[in-house]
């Protein structure tokens, strides 16, 4: 650890706000709280839990995180308008350490095309906004949106004015992923030289990955004097995503020779678990070759590499898998392992379960252990996640029969429970899964557009568990679903039903009038400039 606070790089996690802006990745309140709790275990410094003014549902979620999650600073995003800031403050003020985070575009492109204003008006708007936020909360972060395309002299004037107005953290985002590392380092260094007030505020990096440079740009900014990194788990986020938490943290930890005296407080052993949880709950698979958390990140297939690893791990391994919580999976459980052994292994994986949850997992475990002679740790992880992160099951598969063959017309007959009634239907299609999906649409009485379908073997062997993931569209909104089974058709059907269950939950919210969409029109500023 470094010997002074100046050496610490604060990790600002925006998985629940910027990460959630991926189409189809919307989370229910309990799922947001579940991820936020895990982020607190991961020991991030700040959690950006959402955009409270965007909908009443998101307001409730952010407030729930602020109430229940202890440790990190809790914040959310607000546009630079009084109504947004009031809504955000209402949501986060219950937190032990709340923060108001607000933003306004400062590039000429944004000023002219988006606001149809001029630089002086925008500068005054920024100052009024920060002063208003400061009147509510001592911890205020301001983002100069599109900073990497903002005129440098104007950026200096703006940053100087907002620091004087009371902003404690200044974020200079590369909103569209346009910058390169050398430019970013140069901009941060010159900004710190030109604006003396920055000695009393923290400079933050928020970089997007449109050109694949988000991690590099974030680290370049840190080397030049920024001390907060805004990141997401697995690098998820708008368009090509954000700088990835695991990459930024591990780069600082692994290359101590470059990041001299710098450290983060992140508990890296929790990285793999957090990564899997976010992927599962948001329905966003992780690419296999993703740095640090991809399934191939620690796999060595070249004979030369394998030979080197056997002789000395440091030949081809710069990060030890166990340092990020990827363990060698050596144990296997069988149907005779018993409840106590199961509980022991699950708690070893870091999950806290109620007796009811354990009982439910144990039943599923017995069914799986009958099909698969040995249940591995990754099988168990899937069972646990399927149980913990459930959307209310309005539709539940009871029974399925499939007829398929090269000459026969594929047919599916399903028995599905909807709340307390059991519905039976049959349909034909151009394949067994197509037939099953048509059958489900008949049962539900609605049509959906299937925009994404994937099947993966998530464990090894002929009797592997297959995981299905689907994304469906209804009235322009995307819902994702996932399920796993040793029978891939069953997994595909359950995944479709899980997406439909999310759709049902969202429809229920809309009809009770809880969900108000964010207004697209530009809102009135704090003090009309």
| pLDDT per residue as tens digits for the range 411-425 | 999 999 998 899 999
How many Cα neighbours within 13 Å face the side chain of 443? 30
- pLDDT tens digits along 74-83: 999 999 999 9
CB 74 within 8 A of CB 44: no
User: Is pLDDT of 385 > 90?
Assistant: no
Residue 233 predicted with pLDDT over 50:
yes
Q: How far apart are CA 518 and CA 78, in angstroms?
A: 12
Query: What is d(CA 77, CA 47) in angstroms, rounded to the nearest whole number?
Result: 11
What is the pLDDT at residue 516? 43
Residue 457 main-chain phi, psi, to 5 deg: -85, 120
pLDDT-derived band at 11 (thresholds 50, 70, 90) equals: very high
Residue range 477-493, pLDDT digits in tens? 888 888 888 899 999 99
Distance CA 55, CA 19 (A): 16
- Domain 395-511 class, CATH top level: alpha beta
Question: How deeply is 335 buried, as exposed, middle or buried, from its count of CB atoms within 10 A (0-12, 13-18, 19+)?
Answer: middle
Is residue 8 over pLDDT 80?
Answer: yes
What average pLDDT does the chain have?
A: 89
Ordered DSSP codes for 384-424: HHHHHTPPP-SEEEEEEEEE--SSSPPEEEEEEEETTEEEE
Whether the pLDDT of residue 71 is over 90: the answer is yes
Residue 453, pLDDT score: 92
What is the mean predicted confidence (pLDDT) over 467-481? 85
- Tell me what percent of the residues of the chain surpass a pLDDT of 70: 92
Class at the top of the CATH hierarchy for domain 5-282: alpha beta
pTM of the model: 0.79
Nearest Cα to 98, choosing from 136, 61, 60? 136
307-333, pLDDT tens digit by residue?
887 788 888 888 988 899 876 544 567
Residue 400 has pLDDT above 70, yes or no: yes
Identify any residues that bridge with 396 across adjacent strands, giving them in sequence order.
417
Supply φ then ψ for residue 401, to 5 degrees. -135, 130
Work out the average pLDDT over 369-378: 75
Contact criterion met (CB below 8 Å) for 377 and 337: no
Per residue in 81-120, pLDDT (tens digit) is 999 999 999 999 999 999 999 999 999 999 999 999 999 9
Q: Phi and psi (nearest 5°) for 38?
A: -65, -35
């Amino acid at each position: 650890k470094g010997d002074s606070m100046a050496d610490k790089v604060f990790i600002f996690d925006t998985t629940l706000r910027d990460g959630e802006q991926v189409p189809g990745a919307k989370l229910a309140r309990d799922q947001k709280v579940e991820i936020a709790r895990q982020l607190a275990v991961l020991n991030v410094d700040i959690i950006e839990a959402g955009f409270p003014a965007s909908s009443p549902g998101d307001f409730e979620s952010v407030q729930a995180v602020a109430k229940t999650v202890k440790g990190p600073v809790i914040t959310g995003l607000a546009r630079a308008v009084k109504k947004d800031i009031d809504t955000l403050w209402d949501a986060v003020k219950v937190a032990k350490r709340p923060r108001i985070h607000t933003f306004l575009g400062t590039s000429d492109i944004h000023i002219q095309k988006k606001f149809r204003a001029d630089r002086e008006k925008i500068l005054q708007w920024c100052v009024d906004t920060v002063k208003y936020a400061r009147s509510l909360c001592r911890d205020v972060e301001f983002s100069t949106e599109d900073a990497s395309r903002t005129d440098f002299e104007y950026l200096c004037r703006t940053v100087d004015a907002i620091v004087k107005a009371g902003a404690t953290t200044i974020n200079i985002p590369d909103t569209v992923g346009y910058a390169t590392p050398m430019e970013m380092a140069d901009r941060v260094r010159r900004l710190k030289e030109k604006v003396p007030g920055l000695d009393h505020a923290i400079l933050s990096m928020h970089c997007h990955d449109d050109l694949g440079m988000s991690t590099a740009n974030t680290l370049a900014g840190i080397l030049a004097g920024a001390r907060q990194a805004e990141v997401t788990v697995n690098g998820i986020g708008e368009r090509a995503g954000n700088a990835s938490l695991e990459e930024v943290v591990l780069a600082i930890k692994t290359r101590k020779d470059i990041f001299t005296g710098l450290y983060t407080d992140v508990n890296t052993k929790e990285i793999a678990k957090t990564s899997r949880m976010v992927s599962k709950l948001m329905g966003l698979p992780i690419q296999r070759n993703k740095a640090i958390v991809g399934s191939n990140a620690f796999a060595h297939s070249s004979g030369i590499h394998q030979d080197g690893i056997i002789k000395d791990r440091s030949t081809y391994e710069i990060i030890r898998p166990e340092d990020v919580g990827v363990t060698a999976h050596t144990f296997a459980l069988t149907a005779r392992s018993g409840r106590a052994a199961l509980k022991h292994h699950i708690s070893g994986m870091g999950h806290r379960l109620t007796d009811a949850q354990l009982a439910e997992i144990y039943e599923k475990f017995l069914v799986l252990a009958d099909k698969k002679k040995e249940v591995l740790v990754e099988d168990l992880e899937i069972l646990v996640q399927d149980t913990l992160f459930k959307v209310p099951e309005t539709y539940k598969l009871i029974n399925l029969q499939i007829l398929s063959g090269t000459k026969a017309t594929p047919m599916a007959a399903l028995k599905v429970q909807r709340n307390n009634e059991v519905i039976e239907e049959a349909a034909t299609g151009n394949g067994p899964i197509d037939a099953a999906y048509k059958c489900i649409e008949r049962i539900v009485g609605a049509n959906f557009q299937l925009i994404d379908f994937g099947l993966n073997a998530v464990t090894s062997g002929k009797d592997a568990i297959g995981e299905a993931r689907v994304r469906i569209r209804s009235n322009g909104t995307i819902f994702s679903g996932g399920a796993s089974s040793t029978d891939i058709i069953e997994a595909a059907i359950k995944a479709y039903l899980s997406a439909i269950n999310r759709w049902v939950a969202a429809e229920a919210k809309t009809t009770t009038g809880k969900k108000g969409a964010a207004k697209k029109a530009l809102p009135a500023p704090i003090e009309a400039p």
